[in-house]
Amino acid sequence: MPVDESQQNWILAIESTCDETAAAAILDDRSVAASVIATQEALHQRFEGVVPEIAARAHLERILPVIDQVLREACLRRERLQAIAVANEPGLPGSLVVGLAAAKALCLAWNKPLVTIDHIQAHLYACQMATSENLYPNVGLVVSGGHTHLYHCHSPVHWELLGGTIDDAAGEAFDKVAVMLGLPFPGGSHLAQLAQSGDPKAFDFPRPMLQDPQSLDFSFSGLKTSVRYQLVGPGKQDFDQLDVPARKRADVAASFQQAVVDCIVEKSLRALRRTGLKTLCVGGGVAANRSLRDQLSKACQRRRISLHLAPRPWCTDNAAMGAIAWEKLERGQFSALDVDITPGLRRG
């Protein structure tokens, strides 16, 4: 007999940590009744990167229409709504404020409790949403435009930071190298596509911080600089006038991507060895990268590691992964309405 979703308990989740305005209606079995994402790519394209002030203003314009669309699509009973969930950390301050303010207003208007969630924990929870198997404890790898971090995840809402980037995140490095190669913004996916026709061994780019066997930190700034030197030479900045042959562009893209993937795979395996855990969960926008997914799969298969990759639709920023709020709601972890944003990364 089919389940009548209108009779199920649900939460409304809101996401506005960076440049995607998103909302989702999520049932208590963690299935997603409706999910809407309003992207801002066109607004930031001419700046070749996200402009925080523009992102915040766009959230202001879009947050209520996005929420309204989710409510109309979900067709769920208001009295079954258990809480309003919102990501209040980490992220761009102006963007976070918009989402949190909207969530607080709805809590007051509808007399519902507030659940605040960590955007990074939610990225990892996307792996749990894709299976009925309990994935905790695990080593969690979040790899995105703003984050490249490894965690010892004891539960969905309790973790320890094992290591992370000391400068550029992997996704940020992808986007910056894409600019050097004259690719459209956001550049990560375009660079990955270009890399498919290149030779990943054409250029011996550095694998930063792999030499220290104890380190679980990442650094991609030097790798990015090495790519720049290969394209224009030291001290030169003008990429607009650069005339790089198509073959070389593809080889640079492939070699750069391989260097990043090598660093991520090796550090992930180190984290697994150090913790003694046999489960690796991977989330974040760069987790959609085909080369990374393939090479992580092969490495984990050889070592009998259980690998769980976030489904591609839930890798980039979205509100569906706000299903993690159910974990906090079931533990009675509600937030007061005077809770504030936490833009910086929490370490544990």
Where residue 288 sits, what CATH number does that domain have?
Answer: 3.30.420.40
Residues 179 and 265 in one domain: yes
Residue with tokens 């070749």: 48
Q: Both ends of the chain: CA-CA distance in Å?
A: 43
- Cβ atoms within 10 Å, residue 238: 7
Residues 209 and 299 in one domain: yes
**How far are the Cα atoms of 89, 91, 97, 121, 158 from residue 340, in angstroms, in the given order?**
9, 13, 8, 18, 20
Q: Are 119 and 145 in contact (CB under 8 A)?
A: no
Residues 194 and 280 in one domain: yes
- Cβ atoms within 10 Å, residue 67: 23
Diameter of the chain by CA atoms?
A: 69
Residues 280 and 154 in one domain: yes
Q: Is 212 part of any domain? A: yes
Omega prior to 137 cis, within 30 of 0: yes
Q: What is the distance between the alpha carbons of residues 140 and 132, in angstroms, rounded to a whole number?
A: 18
- Report the relative pairing of strands 20-27 and 32-39 from DSSP bridges: antiparallel
Q: Is 335 part of any domain? A: no
Tokens read off for 308: 């769980």
Q: What is the distance between the alpha carbons of residues 238 and 241, in angstroms, rounded to a whole number?
A: 6
Residues 103 and 154 in one domain: no
Q: At what angle do helices 290-302 and 187-195 cross, to 10 degrees?
A: 70
Q: What is the distance between the alpha carbons of residues 35 and 126, in angstroms, rounded to a whole number?
A: 14
Residues 110 and 247 in one domain: no
Q: Is 222 part of any domain? A: yes
Residues 103 and 188 in one domain: no
Q: Is 49 part of any domain? A: yes
Q: Is 235 part of any domain? A: yes
Residues 148 and 291 in one domain: yes
Residues 290 and 324 in one domain: no
Q: What is the distance between the alpha carbons of residues 335 and 104, in angstroms, rounded to a whole number?
A: 10
Q: Are 223 and 173 in contact (CB under 8 A)?
A: yes
pLDDT tens per residue, range 274-311: 999 999 999 999 999 999 999 999 999 999 999 999 99
Domain carrying residue 31: 5-121+317-330
Predicted pLDDT at 106: 98
Output the tens digit of pLDDT for each of the chain's 348 residues.
345 666 799 999 999 999 999 999 999 999 999 999 999 988 988 888 899 999 999 999 999 999 999 999 999 999 999 999 999 999 999 999 999 999 999 999 999 999 999 999 999 999 999 999 999 999 999 999 889 999 999 999 999 999 999 999 999 999 999 999 999 988 899 999 999 999 999 999 999 999 898 999 999 999 999 999 999 876 666 666 577 899 999 999 999 999 999 999 999 999 999 999 999 999 999 999 999 999 999 999 999 999 999 999 999 999 999 999 999 999 999 999 999 999 887 655
Q: What is the distance between the alpha carbons of residues 40 and 59, in angstroms, rounded to a whole number?
A: 9
Q: Is 346 part of any domain? A: no
Q: Is 341 part of any domain? A: no
Domains in the chain, number: 2
Predicted pLDDT at 1: 37
Give the closest residue to 106 by CA, choosing from 340, 334, 337, 343: 337
Residues 69 and 166 in one domain: no
Predicted pLDDT at 235: 63
Residues 143 and 264 in one domain: yes
Give the closest residue to 193 by CA, choosing from 214, 203, 173, 178: 178
Predicted pLDDT at 348: 54
In the three-class reduction of DSSP (H, G, I as helix; E, B as strand; rest coil), residue 25 is classed as strand
pLDDT tens per residue, range 116-146: 999 999 999 999 999 999 999 999 999 998 8
Q: Is 163 part of any domain? A: yes
Q: Are 24 and 319 in contact (CB under 8 A)?
A: yes
Q: What is the distance between the alpha carbons of residues 14 and 19, in angstroms, rounded to a whole number?
A: 13
Residues 37 and 157 in one domain: no
Q: What is the distance between the alpha carbons of residues 177 and 231, in angstroms, rounded to a whole number?
A: 10
Supply the DSSP string of 225-254, one letter for each residue: HHHHHHHH-TT----TT----HHHHHHHHH
233: left (phi over 0), alpha (psi -120 to 50) or beta: left
Residue with tokens 């046999």: 278
